Chains A and B, each alone.
Chain A
Amino acid sequence: MANLRTGIAFSLIALCVVAAVFAPFLAPFDPFRGGADALLPPGSKSFILGSDHLGRDVLSELIFGARVSLAVGISAALSASVLGLVVGSLAGFFGGWVDGVLMRTSEFFQTLPRFVLALVIVAFFGSGIFKLIIVLAVLSWPPIARLVRAQILSLREATFVEAARLSGMGSLRIIAREILPNALAPVIVTGSLDIASAILLEASLSFFGLGDANLISWGGMLNVAQPYLRQAWWMAVFPGIAISLVVLSFNVLGDALNDALNPRLQETA
């Protein structure tokens, strides 16, 4: 059962990646160009999923929207993971006041309401896609940093690290060669779950009208759909399904990775 679940999730993500990469070839219409055929229901006049209030094809918008969701989700989670790895390693390795300062900082970021802070920052500094990625990464690194730190603290005492130390390896080399590779598994799991939450957060910001105005995003489509809920359900329903499926797939993938990489934890979850 679990394998089937993972297989479906993986296929959906692959489908989304294909849509994002080959969007211009796959989309039946130009998603940026409208026309006279506004608010047509799905199935009419070769608009498979209907058209929006400006006569743009909803399916084509969806295909192009995959680009923003994937780009923001993956880049933000990746940057957050790298940031978390660096901060966590520094804190775990140096200990003392460095550890204190870094961990208080991460606590602070974890306490702050992420969404509201992101809203204010994006509203102040403008909302290009790169700014969005940076903001999401800066707000998402603390759990990973704490994880890496905890791993380093426990692995530092392990026998194979002791052996490396006795054989004369330098501290930095021990961290890079011996400790980090062993601490990586939980980071990969958290990172893939972070992709899901970054995609959700991007969609929420775009729904608030703070997405990149030059790009089509699923959250932005939901924003546009809000005044048309009574006339054109398809404008809201399809982008929401797309977001839900992709987020669900990355969550399932995270769980599957967790089971695969931490066999010992399998029974407690």
Chain B
Amino acid sequence: MWFYILKRVAQALPLLLAVVVVNFVLIQLAPGDPVTLLVGDFPAPEEYVKQVRAEYGLDRPVAERLVLYLGQLARGNLGYSFANRMSVAELIGKRIGPTLQLMFTALVIAIVIGVTLGVVAARGRGKLADWIAQIGALVGYSVPDFWLGQVLIILFAVTLALLPSQGMRSARSVATGLDAFLETLPYLILPATALSVRFIALFSRITRSAMLEVLNADFVLAARAKGLSEGRVLLAHVLRNASLPIVTVIGYNLGLLIAGSALIETVFSWPGVGRLMFDSITKRDYPVMTGILLFVSLTVVIANLLTDLAYAALDPRVRYTR
């Protein structure tokens, strides 16, 4: 196992380096003065512009510039946002909490509903329930999630006036700790629902096909023959063995989840990284954009690595075959 972990980590490192290089190349290739991309399209003080030129060696050859860029990143310097008067790393750090909260809630909703739907569809294969679940999955996979958010706002916040639709708590709120969390819950319902729909569709499809693959396996027949109740057969034997592809799909789709939350946060003014991305685009605050791209790519690479490791931990065969 240790050898496998080391091997996978070693494979992930070039990927990380490649991500950084792509970011660097983008900054170099973009039209206009690269210093604008490092400072942002924002009236920055002349000394700071000079400092950035020196720090990143913008008057030196490309190879030297790449080394300087890597050096800045290694020191944790993702740049500085003049539009926000704050370092990009600090800015992302402040916004990551709400994003994680939104993503985690949506993921839990999607796993519970998606896996349940998948199990129901696989059990009643070819029947009405299966047909409805499959059409539902197809629709859920085709509807743009940010538009679904807008429709939820129109229905539940405007027409029915049941739930709040903007931000994560009242502007006047002074609550902290648990109180703040409880106050956030009603604000969380609509965006988390909108974000989860695509993943409900994805998980129900994967669960259905994974279930179908093991539903007729010999060990399931044996469990049934042993006289186990249908519920126990499904939970302990079928779903357990079908869980591998489900875990993989969750892990590999983290990038999709982040993209979805960027759009959803914009619709619901949720103060997370996605909203920050939107604001940085409207303000042409380039360092924040590249900083977020780097941060998100890093997260995705690490999530994929963890998924592979989880897969190897759950299924020992993987460690030896690859």
Q: Are A124 and B30 neighbours in the complex by a CB distance under 8 Å?
A: yes
Number of interface residues of A (CB under 8 A): 46
Which stretch, A14-22, A45-53, A105-113, A155-163, touches the partner chain B?
Answer: A105-113
Q: Are B146 and A116 neighbours in the complex by a CB distance under 8 Å?
A: no
- Contacts A204-B146, A229-B153 hold; do A120 and B293 have CB atoms under 8 A apart? yes
B 132-171 binary contact with A (CB < 8 Å = 1; else 0): 0000001101111011101101100010000000000000
With beta carbons under 8 angstroms apart, the residue of B148, B150, B292, B300 that contacts A225 is: B150
Most buried by B among A104, A233, A268: A233
A123 at the interface (CB under 8 A from B): yes
Q: Are A251 and B142 neighbours in the complex by a CB distance under 8 Å?
A: yes
Q: Are A204 and B154 neighbours in the complex by a CB distance under 8 Å?
A: no
Q: Are A243 and B259 neighbours in the complex by a CB distance under 8 Å?
A: no
- Contacts A208-B281, A244-B143, A247-B142 hold; do A112 and B19 have CB atoms under 8 A apart? yes
B 3-25 binary contact with A (CB < 8 Å = 1; else 0): 00000000000110011001000
With beta carbons under 8 angstroms apart, the residue of A120, A236, A247, A268 that contacts B209 is: A268
Q: Which residue of B lies closest to A246 (CB)?
A: B142
Q: Are B147 and A236 neighbours in the complex by a CB distance under 8 Å?
A: yes
User: Which residues of A from 242 to 269 have beta carbons under 8 Å from B?
Assistant: 243-244, 247-248, 251-252, 255, 268-269
Shortest CB distance A94–B (Å): 21
User: Which residues of B from 249 to 269 have beta carbons under 8 Å from A?
Assistant: 255-256, 258-259, 262-263, 266-267
A203 at the interface (CB under 8 A from B): yes
B244 at the interface (CB under 8 A from A): no
Shortest CB distance B12–A (Å): 9
- Contacts A113-B255, A113-B300 hold; do A120 and B147 have CB atoms under 8 A apart? no
A124 to B37, CA, bound (A): 8
With beta carbons under 8 angstroms apart, the residue of A116, A117, A248 that contacts B139 is: A248
Q: Are A111 and B131 neighbours in the complex by a CB distance under 8 Å?
A: no
A268 to B205, CA, bound (A): 12
A209 at the interface (CB under 8 A from B): yes
A249 to B258, CA, bound (A): 26
A 100-134 binary contact with B (CB < 8 Å = 1; else 0): 00001001100111111101110111100000000
Q: Are B258 and A236 neighbours in the complex by a CB distance under 8 Å?
A: no
- With a cutoff of 8 Å between Cβ atoms, the chain B residues found around residue A126 in the complex are 31
- Contacts A124-B37, A233-B158, A236-B147 hold; do A111 and B15 have CB atoms under 8 A apart? yes
Shortest CB distance A203–B (Å): 6
B282 at the interface (CB under 8 A from A): yes
B301 at the interface (CB under 8 A from A): yes
A58 at the interface (CB under 8 A from B): no
User: Which residues of A from 197 to 213 have beta carbons under 8 Å from B?
Assistant: 200, 203-204, 207-210
Shortest CB distance B35–A (Å): 14
With beta carbons under 8 angstroms apart, the residue of B146, B209, B212, B304 that contacts A222 is: B146
- Contacts A113-B258, A244-B143 hold; do A207 and B138 have CB atoms under 8 A apart? no
A148 at the interface (CB under 8 A from B): no
User: Which residues of A from 156 to 180 have beta carbons under 8 Å from B?
Assistant: none
B278 at the interface (CB under 8 A from A): yes
- Contacts A116-B259, A236-B147 hold; do A125 and B31 have CB atoms under 8 A apart? yes
Q: Are A203 and B144 neighbours in the complex by a CB distance under 8 Å?
A: yes
**Chain B at the A interface: mostly helix, strand, loop or mixed?**
helix
A36 at the interface (CB under 8 A from B): no
- Contacts A204-B144, A208-B263 hold; do A116 and B277 have CB atoms under 8 A apart? yes
- With a cutoff of 8 Å between Cβ atoms, the chain A residues found around residue B141 in the complex are 251
User: Which residues of B from 19 to 41 have beta carbons under 8 Å from A?
Assistant: 19, 22, 26-27, 29-31, 37
- With a cutoff of 8 Å between Cβ atoms, the chain B residues found around residue A200 in the complex are 142, 144
- Contacts A196-B142, A207-B146 hold; do A112 and B297 have CB atoms under 8 A apart? yes
- With a cutoff of 8 Å between Cβ atoms, the chain A residues found around residue B139 in the complex are 244, 248
Q: Are A209 and B138 neighbours in the complex by a CB distance under 8 Å?
A: no
- Contacts A229-B150, A240-B151 hold; do A207 and B26 have CB atoms under 8 A apart? no
- With a cutoff of 8 Å between Cβ atoms, the chain B residues found around residue A269 in the complex are 209
Q: Which residue of B lies closest to A200 (CB)?
A: B144
Q: Are B259 and A113 neighbours in the complex by a CB distance under 8 Å?
A: yes
With beta carbons under 8 angstroms apart, the residue of A107, A124, A210, A229 that contacts B154 is: A229
B204 at the interface (CB under 8 A from A): no
Task: List 24 contacting pairs A-B, 8 Å CB cutoff, sorted by A.
Answer: A104-B14, A107-B15, A108-B15, A111-B15, A111-B304, A115-B255, A116-B292, A119-B277, A119-B289, A123-B281, A124-B286, A125-B30, A204-B144, A208-B266, A209-B281, A219-B144, A222-B150, A236-B147, A243-B144, A243-B147, A248-B143, A251-B141, A251-B142, A268-B209
Task: Show the binding face of B for A, using Cβ within 8 Å.
Answer: 14-15, 18-19, 22, 26-27, 29-31, 37, 131, 138-139, 141-144, 146-148, 150-151, 153-154, 158, 209, 212-213, 255-256, 258-259, 262-263, 266-267, 277-278, 281-282, 284, 286, 289-290, 292-293, 296-297, 300-301, 304
Q: Give 4 nearest A-B pairs by CB, closest first.
A: A115-B259, A240-B147, A248-B142, A113-B255
